[in-house]
Amino acid sequence: MAQGRGWEGAVLRLMRAKDFTLTVTGAEDVTPRFRRLRLTDGGLLAATGVHPTMWVRLWFDNAGKPHQRAYTLVDPDPATGTFALEFALHEGAASDWARTAKPGDTVEATVQGTGFERPSPAPSHVLAIGDPASLPAINSLLDSLPGAPATVWFEGAADGLPFRTDPARHEVRHAPRAELVERVRAELPAVLRATPDPYVWIACDTRTTRTLAAYVRNELGVPKKRTHALGYWRAS
């Protein structure tokens, strides 16, 4: 199944990655730039189990070359073998596929590298930094920590995106992409000082993620075990 995926596929095979075929059962345009697909899992959830912020690698054809992107599972249901995937639409092979995907279409998926280590002690406050591409993971993270208040710095406006935040416990601070890093630098220290057991979660483009992860760990001194940082995409 992983044949024709180039060096990335070869490495994943060596790491004993598991491959599955997903089938589209429904599609919904949440906004003009955000699309939700519902899929059957091809046995994935029964084989791997489920954890918060769980993601899979999807494989696409990009002018005859293999192209993979990672997406967070939305509402995975092992009993029915179904979940949804949400796509922040832009230019690229993954978005091109998602725009036209219809019931009956299939896509190959690989599970390798995903994981979730629940913070201990439990967070007294979650500080999350993300963008439309990582919104499904932010929602999953907050769902998995229902007792913790959260402050979310989010790149861009709400614009009808499917936030699952609870206004009673979660504050979302929106910022344009050009201002996100400076907003976080200006505002995050005060939130950190006000809580004994913070948990900082960062998932933006690779450059922004690296910049903010270094700031949080090196300048603010947040221990590595109290942070999570993963670059979700590369800015061109």
Residue 58 has pLDDT above 90, yes or no: yes
Instruction: Give the domain CATH number at 12.
Output: 2.40.30.10
**Same-domain pairing of 103 and 143:** no
Q: Give the whole-number percent of the chain exceeding pLDDT 70.
A: 91
Range of the domain at 222: 125-229
Residue 117 lies inside a defined structural domain of this protein:
no
Residue 120 lies inside a defined structural domain of this protein:
no
Residue 41 lies inside a defined structural domain of this protein:
yes
Q: Give the whole-number percent of the chain exceeding pLDDT 90.
A: 82
Residue 43 lies inside a defined structural domain of this protein:
yes
Residue 234 has pLDDT above 70, yes or no: no
Residue 230 has pLDDT above 80, yes or no: yes
Domain boundary, last residue among 111, 143, 170 = 111
Residue 205 lies inside a defined structural domain of this protein:
yes
Mean pLDDT within 115-128 = 94
**Same-domain pairing of 215 and 130:** yes
The pTM of this model reads 0.89
Domain boundary, last residue among 111, 141, 170 = 111
**What's the pLDDT at 126?**
98
Instruction: Give the domain CATH number at 176.
Output: 3.40.50.80
Q: Report the residue count for the chain.
A: 236
Residue 75 lies inside a defined structural domain of this protein:
yes
**Same-domain pairing of 91 and 137:** no
Tell me which amino acid residue 118 is: R
- Looking at the structure of the chain, the number of domains it has is 2
Residue 116 lies inside a defined structural domain of this protein:
no
Residue 149 lies inside a defined structural domain of this protein:
yes
Q: How confident is the model at residue 3 (pLDDT cuts 50, 70, 90)?
A: very low
Mean pLDDT within 2-20 = 59
**What's the pLDDT at 4?**
56
